[in-house]
Chain A
Amino acid sequence: MTRPLTRRDLLERAALGGAALTLPGFLAACGGDGIEAEGTTEATTTAVARELAETLRFSNWPLYIDIDEETKKRPTLDQFTEQTGVEVQYIEDVNDNDEWFGKNRAALSQGQGIDRDLTVLTDWMAGRMVRLGYTQKLDRSAIPNASNLVEALASPGFDPNRDYSMPWQSGMTGIGYDPRRTGGPVTSLSQLLDDPKLKGKVTFLTEMPDTMGLMLQLDGSDPVKVDTAAFDKAIDRLQAAVDSGQIRQFTGNDYSGLLARGDVWACVAWSGDMVQLQLDNPQLEFVIPDEGGMIWTDNMLIPTGGDVFTASTFMNFVYDPKIAAQIAAYVNYISPVEGAKEEAEKLDPELAANQLIFPDEDTLTKVKIFDAEAADDTELKEKFQAVVGA
């Protein structure tokens, strides 16, 4: 740990600051009883309960919210309970989008609830959930903070008006490398694929949208709307790099060990992982490739049967820049909340300056969101899996 401010310090300071949080008055006034929501919207035909439930059942990925390592308490969730009286039943049971869907499809397809009010899924799976009608419309009147959503994520293909989803955290996909071994910067995907120095020292990701998003941009194609012919061409290019031995393996998060140990010198990597890795290996670099990088988002959704008003109220809570800064500081992924950077600056200027956690406009123009429908296309998935070796 070379950072002057440790994660725990930060959490403590954030907790102190939490006392002065300014949330809409109706939240602070709440003592646990149901309350009326303020603000009016056009009357919807389906009546939405405007009372907070006693508990919020929230499914999320492991290690995806701030936690105090000593007390095992989660400051953000406790603050939410303090202010609204709603207990949060926080369940870290999303390990894999497909696996999650497989477990819950039967109930959802019959219109039954799955005992969750809120769940977090990656873009393409969120797209599938919305497309199949397995989610409920947000109660936007309960989310005035939605105006803090960053512009770059405001209008994804699968939910152009963010009627059904709000981003939880985002991450970028680019190139991670160890300059001490590569002997210089690795800034382009073509270098990763062609540089003879890197032969057998390169890994790509097993996640199709990440790897293919970069491969498509290599040819100047658009990963936002995938064209099958361009996809096939990119697949051939990838296969050639596998056949020649340039690409050593396809990995999940496990590239981190290989990169730190020196078995891999340069790889397609996730920004959040690289932040973690840099704590122990400060020499490691992460760059958005010259050809362009990717940005992906895990989205909060309200599955069928979930309590819309309570879930929406929680979304509003985490879209408060102070809370968002607190979460981002712990998880090291990109906060989708405008103003979180300024809040983080007050806590830790170095954190706020980290381009991997708070990327500037310049960085954000170089990354794209992968076509959600293409990411869920069986044929494209099969073509990709054939290259990955299975």
Chain B
Amino acid sequence: MGFLHRHRGFVPYLLLGPGLGFLALFFVVPTYYLANTSLQEGSAEVGYVFTWAWDNYGDAIATYDEHLIRSLLYAGVATVVALAVSYPLAYWIAFHGGRWKSVLLLIVIAPFFVTYLIRTLAWQSILADDSVVVEVLRAIGVLGDGERLLATSTAVVAGITYNFLPFMALPLYASLEQIDGRLIEAAEDLYASRFQAFLRVTLPLSLPGVFAGTLLTFIPAAGDFVNAELLGTPREAMIGNVIQSKFLVITDYGQAAALSFVLMAAILVLVALYSRTLGTERLTG
């Protein structure tokens, strides 16, 4: 204790220690290896050699630009839909949930008690060509006679939305829950309509939740491959499917790693643009 007492300045760094250690071990080191791999040439048969193979990047982007754009598009749509569904949900739980709050939250995260793969496979049955859902949609004319839901882009986006919805709902709830109800009362006292009060008090105060939720949804969704594989067709393949096949089927580790970096970079750029538009300074106060 004597040392810590004399050097109080160290304490914050000591507290950071475990977190930094974790990041170093599970983020920095793997990222280094991935970066290294992305510049390697070779094959499973002869092994891989580091050659500064920048071609991996050029080839990857040129060949799979379509998959990359599709991934960002699907992830974007899924994020917007998840936000549209989650916001009213989180709002209602936060302000009107009362003593049922914890139960309702539990229901939101209940799907997480079943593994990701099983949940997605369950959607195969729900959206199956002869399923109740599809029959109903056919009966009311939303789907034509020969049309289907399973193995379409709609199914893929719906699957992604469903699978990542709790990541959107929980941060939204957390930020809405913290809002001081007296602020809304004050707004209404000052002759704001309920809608204006929402628009000028509740919504801005919940933006940190929107920001966190969109990132937590969009980032994993962009790299997802399970939904496209199980609920889509080859025409819905996402960049995650390509990376998976490059790593495990073609065993072109160099290009697979390069594609992973391209995806990471694309997401970083989009997130940077997004946070500038939304203004993180304003969010963090």
Contact = CB atoms under 8 A, between A and B. Distances in A.
A242 B234 CA distance: 8
Contacts, number: 78
Contacts of B47: 105, 109
Contact of B148 (A200, A206, A242): A200
Given A249-B151, A263-B129, A389-B241, A98 B234 contact: no
Contact of A387 (B130, B146, B234, B236): B234
Interface string B39-64: 00001110100000000000000000
Contacts of A101: 44
A101 B150 CA distance: 34
A382 B242 CA distance: 11
Interface string B199-232: 0000000000000000000000000000000101
A252 B160 CA distance: 22
A390 interface: yes
Interface in A350-390: 376, 378, 381-382, 385, 387-390
A96 interface: yes
B102 interface: no
A249 B248 contact: no
Contacts of A247: 233-234
B245 interface: yes
B244 interface: yes
Given A98-B249, A128-B45, A249-B234, A390 B242 contact: yes
Contact of B237 (A99, A248, A389): A389
A206 B249 CA distance: 10
Contacts of A105: 44, 47
B128 A390 contact: no
B43 A378 contact: yes
Interface string B77-94: 000000000000000000
A96 B235 contact: no
A19 interface: no
B124 interface: yes
Contacts of B252: 378, 382
A250 interface: yes
B280 interface: no
B150 A389 contact: no
B45 A132 contact: yes
Contacts of B146: 199-200
B156 to A, nearest CB: 12
B251 interface: yes
Contact of B250 (A258, A385, A389): A385
Given A128-B45, A132-B45, A388-B234, A381 B125 contact: no
Given A261-B125, A261-B128, A261-B130, A390 B245 contact: yes
Contact of A248 (B67, B233, B245): B233
Given A102-B251, A261-B128, A390 B44 contact: no
Of B232, B246, B251, most A-chain CB atoms within 10 Å: B251
Contacts of A128: 45
B254 to A, nearest CB: 12
A200 B147 CA distance: 9
A352 to B, nearest CB: 36
B277 to A, nearest CB: 33
Interface string B136-154: 0000000000101011000
A257 interface: yes
Interface in A120-134: 128, 132
A24 interface: no
A31 interface: no
A258 B67 CA distance: 26
A27 B170 CA distance: 66
A390 B233 contact: no
A220 interface: no
B244 A390 contact: yes
Nearest to B130: A262
B276 to A, nearest CB: 33
Contacts of A258: 124
Contacts of B130: 261-263
A109 to B, nearest CB: 7
Contacts of B45: 128, 132, 376
Contacts of B234: 242, 247, 249-250, 387-390
Contacts of B150: 263
Contacts of A109: 47
Interface string A68-110: 0000000000000000000000000000101101100100010
A111 B244 CA distance: 29
Contacts of B43: 378
Contacts of A242: 233-235
Interface in A232-265: 242-243, 247-250, 254, 257-258, 261-263
A389 B151 CA distance: 13
Contacts of A132: 45
A132 B250 CA distance: 18
Contacts of B128: 261-263
Contacts of A262: 128-130
Of B67, B230, B237, B249, most A-chain CB atoms within 10 Å: B249
11 contacts: A101-B44, A102-B251, A105-B44, A247-B234, A254-B230, A376-B45, A382-B250, A389-B235, A389-B237, A390-B234, A390-B242
Interface of A: 96, 98-99, 101-102, 105, 109, 128, 132, 199-200, 206, 242-243, 247-250, 254, 257-258, 261-263, 376, 378, 381-382, 385, 387-390
Given A248-B151, A257-B121, 8 more contacts: A242-B234, A249-B151, A249-B233, A257-B124, A261-B128, A263-B150, A387-B234, A388-B245
Q: Which 7 A-B pairs have the closest CB atoms?
A: A389-B234, A389-B237, A390-B245, A390-B241, A390-B242, A263-B129, A390-B237
Interface of B: 43-45, 47, 67, 121, 124-125, 128-130, 146, 148, 150-151, 230, 232-237, 241-242, 244-246, 248-252
